[in-house]
Every structure is written in C-alpha cells, then in structure tokens.
Chain A
Amino acid sequence: MGETARENHDRVLEQAAEWQRAGEGVALATVVETWGSAPRPVGSQLAVRADGAFIGSVSGGCIEGAVVVEAQDIIESGAPRLLEFGVSNSQAWEVGLACGGRIRVFVERVG
C-alpha cells in the first residue's frame, strides 16, 4: 500500500507547497466553524491552484465549486475572505448544504 490511498486526506498542505514551488498561484480554504450536521469537521482543508485544480475537501462536495471560484479571486487579490454556507443562506452563487448544516470557511492566498 503506497501513499495514494491517503493522498486526498493528508497531503493538502504538501500539495499546496508543491504547487507554489512550481510557481503556481495557490489558495487554501479551511473549515473554521460548523453547526448542525456539517459534512466535514473543523480544520478540514482544500487547496486550490489558480487554474481551478484542487485537492482536499471542505464539504461532501456541495460547496467545493463555489469555494474554488472564490479562491481563484483571492489568488488574484490576495485579500482573505470568510465565507458562510448554509441551507437557508442564499449566497450570490446559490449553493448550499443539502444536509441542513452550516459552515464557515476561511479562504486565503498562500505565499
């Protein structure tokens, strides 16, 4: 058994560092608070490359798309943002968590 099975869970920061060493713009999204039946615990991370490639997760797949778009913006601007997602919380991009949970995600540029 190699590293592949664990790759998606544990290598988010390693991947972020590798992308950055390769000269790519990188952002990091981190779950900082959850309420209700949030799919991923506090501390879960997603690294995003400027072209939209990503590794890791901050939800069960519900909001990754929206976070990646925000992250690409933040790679440009450099200003960190705190995002909130919830089933009843209609964000501009109209994504939410079908599970009824709510989460806050901090997104920042790396480097």
Chain B
Amino acid sequence: MRRDTLAQILAARAEKRPVVLATNLLSGEERVIDPASADPRDPLGDAAMAAARDDKGRIVETGAGEVFLNVFNPPLRMLVVGAVHIAQPLAEMAAIAGFDVTIVDPRRAFATAARFPDVALRHDWPDDGVADFAPDHRTAIVTLTHDPKLDDAALQGALSSDCFYIGCLGSKKTHAARLERLHRAGFEAAALDRIHGPVGLAIGAKSPAEIAISILAEIVCRLRGGAL
C-alpha cells in the first residue's frame, strides 16, 4: 500500500466518509474509489458501491486478475434518546462494539459530560435531534425515557428513516400504549413492526448493565441477521 493511499483512507476515516480500496492481488496496484460518487464509466464502480452498501469486502475478477475491494465505512451509529441510567453502560458497551454513540436529551441535568464522558451529547428536542442526526441504514435508535413527550417525537423521526434498528424501553403495557399513539399519528402496523419493544433480548436482565447487554445483543442480531 502506497503512503498516499494510506493517507487518503485515514483522511476519509477522520472525516467519517466511506471509501473503497481496490487492490490487484497479483501486482499490488491499488486505487481508492469513492462509493458515494463512483464514476459510471469505472468498471469497478458498481461493485464498489455494492460492497460499501453491504459493508462487506469482495474479490472481483478483472482482465488484469483478481481485484480485492476493501470497504472502509465510517462507524455504525447509535442514537440513544434519554440520558438515563441505562444509557450509561449502553453507551460504553456500544462504543466497544464499534458504534459511534450520540445521546439526545433536552433535560440538561441528565445529559451531562460528567455522567457521559467521551459521548456526544445533544440537548435539543428528540424530533429535531433525530432529524438533524439524519439516521441511515447503518444507524440504530434506542429510546429510553419512557416519557411519550420525548420518546414519541424521536420515534416518528426514526420510523421515517431507514435506520436498521429501533428499540423502545418500557413494559408490554407501556409499549402497547405507545403503538396505539403512533398508530393514531398515522403509522401503519407494518411500520410499527419495525419497533422492538419491550427493548432487548429476553435474557432476564435486571441491572442497567444487564439491560444494556440485552439491548446491544438485539441490535447485533438485527445487524448481522442472527437467528433470533
């Protein structure tokens, strides 16, 4: 790998831009492809876009031999609504699992740097917060406040995005009431099926850390197409 290629990948990573590196496995010849704006005449453009979308590298056969496409996507993102107790272990564990975590909570006493060191905090209302965050297919959204004023606003934004996971803390009863409100707000049953509630895998979690594990496990299952 040439020095300038390495610098290009690191610059893209610092700016959280996706790039695909194409390397000829015979010669070592390489070039960086921007999957967001690949040249339509580029013979590797479509494959690079598909690799970036699937978050999965692949080998492409070309006239010059095998070319490996390695994907350097920005980190997965997680938006946590509610800077509550469970958010603390969840933010830490999610970061270890490779997520770029942002917490949104307009209640400034909750969302403090002292309680959430090294986590991006936003203090806007969750509807603005979600819209501004621009969730995409590599984003997970978890609501933890179980206050309809905060959670519902975030959920409307989440359901209008193509985020890969939506989970809501709250009992079955709380969740049923939530679905009813969202239905009245115009969301169809098929859309509401995207919501995981009560949030997390049923592992009998009790403590905030255990609940965080169950949530993160459910997110990974959704991300990787696990069997649960």
**Interface residues in chain A, defined as those with a beta carbon under 8 Å from any beta carbon in chain B:** 1-2, 5-6, 9-10, 13-14, 16-17, 20, 28, 30, 32-33, 41-43, 79-80, 82, 106, 108-111
Residues of A within 8 A of B57 (CB): 32, 42-43
> Which 5 pairs of residues, A with B, have the shortest CB-CB distance?
A80-B28, A43-B57, A32-B68, A42-B57, A5-B96
Q: How many angstroms from the CA of A20 to the CA of B4 in the assembled complex?
A: 12
Q: Are B98 and A6 in contact (CB under 8 A)?
A: yes
The A interface, classified by DSSP as helix, strand, loop or mixed, is mixed
Q: How many angstroms from the CA of A108 to the CA of B28 in the assembled complex?
A: 7
Q: Are B1 and A43 in contact (CB under 8 A)?
A: no
Chain B residue at minimum C-beta to C-beta distance from A44 = B57
Q: How many angstroms from the CA of A17 to the CA of B1 in the assembled complex?
A: 11
Residues of A within 8 A of B2 (CB): 111
Q: Are B68 and A30 in contact (CB under 8 A)?
A: yes
Q: How many angstroms from the CA of A20 to the CA of B2 in the assembled complex?
A: 11
Q: Are B118 and A110 in contact (CB under 8 A)?
A: no
Other A-B pairs beyond A32-B57, A82-B25, 5, CB < 8 Å:
A6-B96, A30-B68, A33-B59, A43-B70, A108-B23
**Interface residues in chain B, defined as those with a beta carbon under 8 Å from any beta carbon in chain A:** 1-3, 6-7, 9-10, 13, 23, 25-28, 56-59, 68, 70-71, 75, 92, 95-96, 98, 117-118
Q: Are A28 and B1 in contact (CB under 8 A)?
A: yes
Residues of A within 8 A of B27 (CB): 80
Q: Are A108 and B1 in contact (CB under 8 A)?
A: yes
Q: Are B118 and A16 in contact (CB under 8 A)?
A: no
Q: How many angstroms from the CA of A16 to the CA of B7 in the assembled complex?
A: 11
Q: Residue A1 contacts which of B9, B59, B118 (CB distance < 8 angstroms)?
A: B118
Q: Residue A6 contacts which of B13, B26, B95 (CB distance < 8 angstroms)?
A: B95
Q: Are A42 and B10 in contact (CB under 8 A)?
A: no
Residues of B within 8 A of A110 (CB): 1, 3, 6
Residues of A within 8 A of B1 (CB): 28, 108-111
**A6-B98, A43-B57 known; A1 vs B92 contact (CB < 8 Å):** yes
Q: How many angstroms from the CA of A80 to the CA of B59 in the assembled complex?
A: 17
* Most-contacted residue by chain A among B7, B70, B95, B117 (CB, 10 A): B70
Residues of B within 8 A of A80 (CB): 25, 27-28
Q: Are A20 and B3 in contact (CB under 8 A)?
A: yes
Q: How many angstroms from the CA of A13 to the CA of B72 in the assembled complex?
A: 11
Residues of A within 8 A of B92 (CB): 1
17 contacting pairs across A/B (C-beta < 8 A) = A1-B92, A1-B95, A1-B96, A1-B117, A5-B95, A6-B96, A13-B9, A13-B10, A17-B10, A32-B25, A42-B56, A42-B58, A43-B71, A108-B23, A108-B28, A110-B6, A111-B6
Chain B residue at minimum C-beta to C-beta distance from A80 = B28
Residues of A within 8 A of B6 (CB): 13, 16-17, 20, 110-111
Q: How many angstroms from the CA of A43 to the CA of B152 in the assembled complex?
A: 39
Q: How many angstroms from the CA of A16 to the CA of B27 in the assembled complex?
A: 21
Q: How many angstroms from the CA of A28 to the CA of B104 in the assembled complex?
A: 39
Q: Residue B23 contacts which of A20, A79, A106 (CB distance < 8 angstroms)?
A: A106
Chain A residue at minimum C-beta to C-beta distance from B119 = A1
Q: How many angstroms from the CA of A5 to the CA of B99 in the assembled complex?
A: 12
